[in-house]
Amino acid sequence: MKKYALIILAVLLVVSCNKQQEKALKSADKDFILKIANENFAKKKWKDALALYDRLPNLVAGTDEAPNVVFNSAYANYYDKNYRLAGHQFKNFAGSFNDPRKEEAAYMSALCYYQGSMDYNLDQSSTELAINELQDFLNNYPNSERSKNINQLIEELMYKLEFKAYENAKQYYKMAEYKSANQAFENVLGDFPSTKLKPEIYNYIMKSKYELAINSVFDLKKERIANAIAFTKQVEKELPNTDYSKSAVELRAKLVEDGEKFAKLEKEVEARRAELTAKQKAEEAKLAEKDKTNKQLEEYDKTLRINNKIKRDSAALQTPKPAATFEIKK
């Protein structure tokens, strides 16, 4: 019987609370609305509290209750995982009120942006914004106790950016676009020189350079083999006694072997090119000689025609005109 009584009492309390919530939502009495909102907040009923806090800004504007409404509303949104809105509210509080909780609000604002950072495989504009907000807190409160974990949070977010760039570069490698992969991995190192992913990035750069060299077009092969061999030595030097350095030694042996084969092929190609060049020059000389002979014949023919014309003109001048004749009339 006692058990049923407790259940009935609990139901009555819920009904009573619901009635109070509905009454507050319809009320224009700011004190009553604020009272029920604060009770909901204390009971961690975040959505009910927010429904009432949202009605209060205009009602409490310019009063002593205004800072508490903004502050509690921000925390309610934070606990309800509305991080972007909570961050905006905390930031607004820190910038609008000369309140002892100003530093706490600034910290919570930065923390909200941190919590709102998206997974690495999604758009990372929220992560970049969070890093800026955390850095702003460090700049404004360098000696704060709350600053102790800020650097750790920033490092965590930076790693997320690094990892996204790293994964994007890996996609080029998986698609066998080795030139693009090589450039993308080098960009990661340039953008994040202290990245923890350096060994993995070195490994992918080395393998990309190897694939580029082995499968290179003739004119670029020698340069790419030399470039790949040089990078295997860099990996061996910077990552000694690792699987990556062992892989570097193995790949370098293959590159050297391929380079020796290419050197022989290059000599054969050069000899063939020299032979073709010589034949081409001989053919060009033969054509030039033929052209010269044709021109000489043309000049001779032209000279002959001119001489013949001169002779005809001279003969015409030396022949006397015929005597005049008269017709005799009968």
What are the pLDDT tens digits along the chain (330 aa)? 555 444 444 444 444 557 888 888 878 788 899 999 999 999 999 999 999 999 998 888 888 899 999 999 999 999 999 999 999 999 999 999 999 999 999 999 999 999 988 887 677 888 999 999 999 999 999 989 888 889 899 999 999 999 999 999 999 999 999 999 999 999 999 999 999 999 999 999 999 999 999 999 999 999 999 999 999 999 999 999 999 999 999 999 999 999 999 888 878 887 888 778 778 887 887 888 787 777 877 877 788 788 777 777 776 666 666 555 545 555
The 8-class DSSP code of residue 142 comes to T
Task: Please state, in angstroms and rounded to a whole number, the distance separating the CA atoms of residues 289 and 273.
Answer: 24
**Closest to 124 in 3D by CA, of 92, 81, 159, 83:** 159
pTM greater than 0.85: no
> How far is Cα 119 from Cα 154, in angstroms, rounded to an integer?
15
Every domain of the chain and the residues it spans: 197-290
Q: What is the DSSP string of 2-31?
A: HHHHHHHHHHHHHHHHHHHHHHHHH---HH
Residues 113 and 132: their CA atoms lie apart, in Å, by 9
Query: How far apart, in Å, are the Cα atoms of 237 and each of 143, 199, 231, 242?
Result: 41, 12, 10, 10
- What does the alpha-carbon distance between residue 126 and residue 65 come to, in Å, rounded to a whole number? 32
- Residue carrying structure tokens 């002959």: 304
CA distance 243 to 201: 14
The pair of structure tokens assigned to 81 is 């995982």
Q: Record the tokens describing residue 288, joined without a space.
A: 């030039």
CA-to-CA dists, residue 110 to 23, 106, 139, 148, 149, angstroms: 36, 6, 12, 13, 12
CA 269 to CA 226: how far, in whole Å?
A: 19
| DSSP string for residues in 231-256 | HHHHHHHHSTTSHHHHHHHHHHHHHH
Give the largest CA-CA distance in the chain.
180
